[in-house]
């Protein structure tokens, strides 16, 4: 039976559909989990970011265990001390490879061709990672943490943030360190990865005048 209506049906519209279409358009699964990459990706520099993420997973995992048993645990237990050591060294690995990743991306001018947002989110991750690590160092409840807090208060007070970011307040620093800041860093890392997958990795620098580092969108 024919309906006799040859006019095309209007596409329904809703916020949900708009988001779905945006995601389908911007981040199809083949881009989120691609099985092919441009040939220039076969370089060691691309490993740094992946290793940094692996380091972050160890940071979060060891931190969750430390938080689970409480701030006193690692001072009193051999197992706790070992978990704290895992936390310390994974933080070091995370930062070493994050910095290598950052400098690698700088010398690749990875912000080109519409990737400025990805770069900027990366720098924000770096900055918030430093703040997160700092709150961890002042939350150690040992001499190092005690002195770092006494010493650092002058910078936070001079900057006018000491009133609401009191480095001498263990409860505040510990809360920020185990909850708010890690969630922020993890979320930003997620956004960073999604931005990389949405755009794909940047093409190698071509030393031609029309291929200078730029933040312009590629011509479609």
Partner 1 sequence: MNTDDPQARYYTGIKMIRYDLVKEFVLALLAVSVLVVGLAGVFSSPDDPAVTIQTWATTNPVDFVTTAASELAGTSGTAGYGPPYTNTADAAQAVGPIAPQTWAGVSMPIDTAKDFVLQPLGFAAVGNPTLTTALQAYGAASSDQQTTWLTNYSTALADATVANEQVSVVSGEYGPVPDLMTGLLGLARTGALDGLLLQSGNLYQTDFTKPLLFMGDGEYLPNLAADQHLTGDQWGMMNETGLYPGQTWLWLFSFWYQIPPFNTAPNTDLLVTLLMIGLTSLLALVPFIPILRDIPRWVPIHRIIWRRYYGGR
Where in 57-96 is the site for partner 1 (CB under 8 A)? 57-58, 74-75, 81-82, 84-90, 92-93, 95
Tally the C-alpha atoms within 13 A of residue 177's C-alpha that lie toward its C-beta: 24
d(C-alpha 188, C-alpha 203), whole Å: 24
Residue 135: both structure tokens together = 């709150």
Binding partner 1 (rule: CB under 8 A), the pick from 19, 64, 171, 180 is 171
Please identify which residue in 17, 41, 79, 179 interacts with partner 1, judged by CB under 8 A. Answer: 41
Q: Does 144 bind partner 1 (CB under 8 A)?
A: yes
Q: Does 213 bind partner 1 (CB under 8 A)?
A: yes
Select the span of 7-15, 16-24, 134-142, 184-192 touching partner 1 (CB under 8 A): 134-142
Decide if residue 13 touches partner 1 (CB under 8 A).
no
Angle of the 47-69 helix axis to the 78-107 helix axis, nearest 10: 150
Rounded to 5 degrees, what angle do the CA atoms 61, 67, 73 make?
115
Q: Rule CB under 8 A: choose which of 34, 70, 180, 183 binds partner 1.
A: 34
Q: Residue 15 or residue 170: which is nearer to partner 1 going by CB?
A: 170
> To the nearest whole angstrom, how small is the minimum distance from the Cβ of residue 185 to partner 1?
14
Distance CA 15, CA 2 (A): 33
Q: What distance lies between CA 31 and its chain's CA centroid?
A: 19
Give the other-Cβ count within 10 Å of 110's Cβ.
22
Among 100, 148, 184, 191, binds partner 1 (CB under 8 A): 148
């Amino acid at each position: 039976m024919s309906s006799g209506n040859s006019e095309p049906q209007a596409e329904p519209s809703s916020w949900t559909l708009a988001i779905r279409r945006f995601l389908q358009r911007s981040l199809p699964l083949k881009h989120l989990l691609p099985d092919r990459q441009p040939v220039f990706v076969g370089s060691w520099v691309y490993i740094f970011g992946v290793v940094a993420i692996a380091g972050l997973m160890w940071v979060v995992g060891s931190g969750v265990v430390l938080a689970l048993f409480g701030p006193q645990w690692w001072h009193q237990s051999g197992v706790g001390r070992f978990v704290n050591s895992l936390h310390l060294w994974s933080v070091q690995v995370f930062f070493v490879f994050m910095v290598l990743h950052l400098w690698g991306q700088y010398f690749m001018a990875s912000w080109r061709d519409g990737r400025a947002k990805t770069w900027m989110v990366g720098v924000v991750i770096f900055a918030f990672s430093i703040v997160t690590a700092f709150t961890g160092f002042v939350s150690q409840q040992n001499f190092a943490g005690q002195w770092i807090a006494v010493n650092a208060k002058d910078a936070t007070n001079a900057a006018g943030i000491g009133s609401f970011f009191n480095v001498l307040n263990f409860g505040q620093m510990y809360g920020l360190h185990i909850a708010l800041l890690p969630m922020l860093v993890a979320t930003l890392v997620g956004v960073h990865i999604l931005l990389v997958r949405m755009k794909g990795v940047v093409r190698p620098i071509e030393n031609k005048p029309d291929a200078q580092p730029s933040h312009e969108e590629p011509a479609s």
